[in-house]
Amino acid sequence: MKLMRYVGLMWLGLMTPASAQNLLANGTFDTDVSGWFAFTTITHASDEGAPISGQGSLLNTGVFNNNSSFPAISDPFVVTPGHWYLTGASYKVPAASPVPWAWYQIFWYDAGELEVGRSDMVSGVFGAPKDQWHDMAGLSQAPANAATGELRIYLQTAETGNPDVPFGLWDDVFVLPDTVFYSNFD
């Protein structure tokens, strides 16, 4: 039963409803990477898009390998306290990159911009095949005192000493208000 619920969630997350509004300022990266910042280098890759959109993507390049992670961070978006949100993203790690893993997580903030929680991590498969787009989707509930959220899309660096520069691509990133009834009933 849990597998069916997970498969249903993945299907719902990847089939972004036309009527639902993506809360991210720019999740498609069709023309640029506006609405995102990072402490590493993010650029627009105009010729690399996931199959769903087929346009550009966000290229995130790390500085060095030390078995840590480096995120690209969305501009804050307004949330409703206690409300559920569908999330999803596509990522690709080129063969030349030592990145073994990708994931994302929402950071929740109150009206005073203090962090009040984090969603569960939604992750790809560790060591997933390279040079392929992979999709991931999740469902997160905003804390009762949340006013805004920011989505952080992470890439994991390789072990310390690896000389290859860590980098990867993101596309079709979304945060949607959940318009489907959700419960924990099995």
CATH of the domain at 108: 2.60.120.260
pLDDT digits (tens, 9 = 90+) for 141-160: 999 999 999 999 999 988 88
For 108, the enclosing helix (H) or strand (E) is strand 102-109
Residue pLDDT, tens place only, 65-116: 787 889 999 999 999 999 999 999 999 999 999 999 999 999 999 999 999 9
As a whole number of angstroms, the distance between CA 34 and CA 63 comes to 21
pTM of the model: 0.84
What are the tokens at 180?
A: 């489907």
The partner residues of 71 in beta bridges, in order of sequence, read 154
Q: What is the 3-state secondary structure (H, E, C) of 38-104?
A: ECCEEEEECCCCCCCCCCCEEEEECCCCCCCEEEEEECCEECCCCCEEEEEEEEECCCCCCCCCEEE
Residue 184 lies in a domain: no
- Domain membership flag for residue 186: no
Q: What is the count of structural domains for the chain?
A: 1
Domain annotation covers residue 169: yes
